[in-house]
């Protein structure tokens, strides 16, 4: 299957995801955010969680903070 065929098949879903502020790369970090929530619920400190996840997922600590903020945010209300 060609890239264009997949894009055409999923066009409506992809447009809606973009409209509400979801980026395609967000899917790559679902496990990172899940780990963040689990560690937070265990009572770990945010700075410790961020350091551990940055190393585990080979991203910067700033990226972890940015992803957490993005995943916690509401979708754009005008599009939902």
Residue 80 lies in a domain: no
Residue 77 lies in a domain: no
Q: How confident is the model at residue 77 (pLDDT cuts 50, 70, 90)?
A: low
Residues in the chain: 80
Q: Which domain holds residue 26?
A: 3-72
Number of independent structural domains in the chain: 1
Q: How far apart are CA 43 and CA 16, in angstroms?
A: 36
Assess whether pLDDT exceeds 80 at residue 76. Answer: no
- 33 and 67 Cβ atoms separated by less than 8 Å: yes
Residue 78 lies in a domain: no
Q: How confident is the model at residue 25 (pLDDT cuts 50, 70, 90)?
A: very high
**pLDDT per position as a tens digit, 27-52:** 999 999 999 999 999 999 999 999 99
CA dihedral 24, 26, 71, 66 (to 10 degrees): -110
Q: How far apart are CA 68 and CA 76, in angstroms?
A: 17
Residue 75's pLDDT is 83
Residue 61 lies in a domain: yes
pTM of the predicted structure, to 2 decimals: 0.83
Residue 79 lies in a domain: no
């Amino acid at each position: 299957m060609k890239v264009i065929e997949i894009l055409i098949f999923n066009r409506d879903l992809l447009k809606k995801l973009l409209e509400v502020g979801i980026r395609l790369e967000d899917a790559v970090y679902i496990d990172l955010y899940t780990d963040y929530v689990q560690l937070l619920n265990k009572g770990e400190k945010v700075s410790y969680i961020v350091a551990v996840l940055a190393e585990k997922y080979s991203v910067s600590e700033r990226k972890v903070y940015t992803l957490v903020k993005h995943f916690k945010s509401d979708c754009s209300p005008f599009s939902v």
